[in-house]
Amino acid sequence: MACSRNQSVSSPSMPWKYDVFVSFRGEDTRNNFTDHLFGALHKKGIVTFRDDTKLKKGEHISSELLQAIEGSRIFIVIFSRNYASSTWCLQELAKIADCIDVSGQTVLPIFYDVNPSEVRKQSGDYEKSFLKHEEIFKENLEEVQRWRDALAQVANLCGWDVRDKPQFAEIEKIVKEVTCLLGNKSSTLPGDIVGMHPRMEELKKLLNLDLDNDDVRVVGICGMGGIGKTTLATALYARISNQFDACCFIDDVSKTYGDYGPIGVQKQLLYQTLNEENIQICNLSMASNLIRTRLCQTKSLVVFDNVDQVEQLDKLTMAREWLGRGSRIIIISRDGHILREHGVDEVYKVRLLDHNNALQLFCRKAFKSDDIMSGYISLTDDVLTYANGLPLAIKMLGTFLYGRDASEWKSALSRLRENPRTDIMNVLRISFDGLEDTEKDIFLDIACFFYEKGEAYVKRVLDFRGFHPEIGLRVLVDKSFIILEKGRIFMHDLFKELGKSIVREKSPKEPRKWNRMWDYQDVHNVISENMATGNLEAIVLRRYPENIDKIQAMSTLRAEALAQMSRLKLLMLWNLNFSGSLNFLSSELGYLCWDKYPFTCLPSSFEPDKLVELILPHSNIRQLWEGTKVLCL
């Protein structure tokens, strides 16, 4: 190319839909130069609009095509011998010229099988074509002149004369120029990347993208559902894809694998990297051989998103050494154990957003601005406290609250505290459904009772419950349900809400049918009404609840109602007042903690064979039992 260009394309106020729009005469260049160019752009991860021939019906181009032109950052115009004979092509060209004048987009002219001078001077075949147009459109010569002007404007820009030159080499130069013009490809970054730039830099360091690093490196990304794993990977993919010869981003490995098996995943990999849609694959061995032979010399970037079983990776039978030197593989999973088991080089755990980034993301969704609207500061703080840094919740709540007045916000927040949004819970529920039954029980116990409690204490309780806490807690850590820090167990507030909603879901308005109870009001109602509670295994109340004054003002309960709870294993009561007589306690109890126990002894019928811990602070207890009891210790 004879002249230089600017280093990058300026970004408009609104994001582009496409990186490149290609204008070409199908019958001249399709199935050869143009197809090869599309394939090369695709391999670089460059989003290119491809006009399908089936759209070309009638004399006027469609509104969809006009919108595609307006939404493209760069135009590639392939001038061929019959380009000017097509009124469709000339209409495209006129629209492109308009966009250049208005928005300053970049045009790259390519002279395929025609002399650039003939195009610029509109001589030879181009002159013949315009004479025909003037005859056909003699009632609208202004439009023909508009086409002539557009042709002159674009053809006189710096371009490539690819006549009698190796197509592969010329296409490589064109793609390199497009990549340079796009710069960091900010046009294709996800729209909600608040707080992502530092994370991308951290991930880039783990990928070790130095030019002199020829190793094939595999990095995993893990974190809880909705935390932004895919957003981060998509943003990074857009940022670094121009450093690779072939790129592949498989959006949902779990679904593709479930629907089509490992061959379905392999087909996507081969199609995206080789740009060959109709690859014939009969079995895994054939697909593996194609990957090994076709990609072994290609520096590739491969992203596997939403892997939820290690076999989804193992059965691909794809070794890292099958890819070209300098290739990088990114695997995204909610389960860190899957990544370690597969043997990744590094694992990047995505963190929750800090307050400033959470606030910025929420404001963009709720106010379409980076600032909080007057009168909404306190309400915004309440929303951010509820979302607790989880991007999914922040975006969904911001979108839901957009355009609503303060009274509607208050109503929505009040409802959220009682009934979490289904769309948020559904995303988090996916991880829960992937747990084994014992792990589900551990999750539910922590969500309902033991968040922020000491790890050693919780392990003792869970061990009594028969839940094998050593491995169970590790699984929950790997799947990002909990964090073990400084000897305590922490869980995101929305996971707590998920656990409680799961306990309630079969009988949301009938607490007596639940197997766990944690809410003072629910416990008070069930006991005061002496309801049958055959499913109930645990009542665990928080010692220092938020509404302590209201709780202490509750009416005195009759202890006789506890006789209905024959399966109770955990009973931890605080701040409630009891009277009456206590003739029965479940012999299944392992943990009995009763603040202000009102009786002088435990019921004589109580068999404490399974009792692990007995705590009766501020009680009237004088002796454990009346009479003599033989303990099986």
Q: For position 524, what pLDDT does the model report? A: 93
Q: How confident is the model at residue 10 (pLDDT cuts 50, 70, 90)?
A: very low
Tokens for 94, please give them.
């006129």
Q: For position 627, what pLDDT does the model report? A: 66
Which pLDDT tens digit goes with each residue over 324-337? 999 999 999 999 99
Q: For position 424, what pLDDT does the model report? A: 92
The stretch 525-553 carries a mean pLDDT of 87
Q: How confident is the model at residue 534 (pLDDT cuts 50, 70, 90)?
A: confident
Counting DSSP H helices and E strands in the chain, the numbers are 25, 19
Q: Does the structure show a pLDDT above 60 at 206?
A: yes
Would you call 63 exposed, middle or buried from its count of C-beta atoms within 10 A (0-12, 13-18, 19+)? exposed
Q: What radius of gyration do the chain's Cα atoms show?
A: 33
| C-alpha to C-alpha distance for 589 and 614, rounded to whole angstroms | 10
Q: Does the structure show a pLDDT above 60 at 3?
A: no
Lowest mean pLDDT among 189-203, 243-257, 342-356, 485-499: 189-203
Which pLDDT tens digit goes with each residue over 207-259? 998 767 789 999 999 999 999 999 999 889 888 887 888 889 998 999 999 99
Residue bearing tokens 């935390």:
227
Known active-site residue 92? yes
Closest CA to 75 of 120, 8, 23: 23
Q: For position 47, what pLDDT does the model report? A: 83
The stretch 393-410 carries a mean pLDDT of 93
| C-alpha to C-alpha distance for 223 and 237, rounded to whole angstroms | 18
Q: Is the Cβ–Cβ distance between 506 and 521 less than 8 Å?
A: no
Tokens for 10, please give them.
């300026």
Q: How confident is the model at residue 630 (pLDDT cuts 50, 70, 90)?
A: low
Q: For position 107, what pLDDT does the model report? A: 93
Q: For position 586, what pLDDT does the model report? A: 93
Q: For position 331, what pLDDT does the model report? A: 97
CATH number given to 18-183? 3.40.50.10140
User: 438-501 adopts what CATH topology?
Assistant: Arc Repressor Mutant, subunit A (1.10.10)
Tell how far CA 294 is from the center of its chain.
31
Q: Does the structure show a pLDDT above 70 at 620?
A: yes
Which pLDDT tens digit goes with each residue over 109-147? 999 999 999 999 999 999 999 999 999 998 889 999 999
Which pLDDT tens digit goes with each residue over 418-437? 888 898 999 999 999 999 99
End-to-end CA distance of the chain: 90
In sequence order, what DSSP letters do the residues of 516-548 get, joined into one string? EE--HHHHHHHHHTT---TT--EEE--SS-TTH
Q: For position 66, what pLDDT does the model report? A: 87
Which pLDDT tens digit goes with each residue over 281-322? 778 888 888 888 888 888 999 999 999 999 999 888 778 888
Q: Is the Cβ–Cβ distance between 524 and 503 less than 8 Å?
A: no
Pick the CATH number of 196-349 from 3.40.50.300, 2.40.170.20, 3.40.50.10440, 1.10.357.10: 3.40.50.300
Q: For position 289, what pLDDT does the model report? A: 85
- 84-88, 413-417, 446-450, 623-627 — most confident range: 446-450
Q: Which is the catalytic residue, given 92, 439, 497, 537?
A: 92
Q: Is the Cβ–Cβ distance between 303 and 237 less than 8 Å?
A: yes
Tokens for 619, please give them.
């009680």
107 pairs with which residues across the strands?
75
Closest CA to 94 of 118, 75, 73, 117: 75
Q: For position 465, what pLDDT does the model report? A: 96
Q: For position 11, what pLDDT does the model report? A: 40
Q: What single letter denotes the amino acid at residue 348?
A: Y
Angle 216-174-166 from CA coordinates, rounded to 5° = 95
Q: For position 455, what pLDDT does the model report? A: 97
The stretch 495-507 carries a mean pLDDT of 94
Mean pLDDT of the chain: 88
Pairing of strands 482-485, 488-491: antiparallel
| C-alpha to C-alpha distance for 528 and 509, rounded to whole angstroms | 16
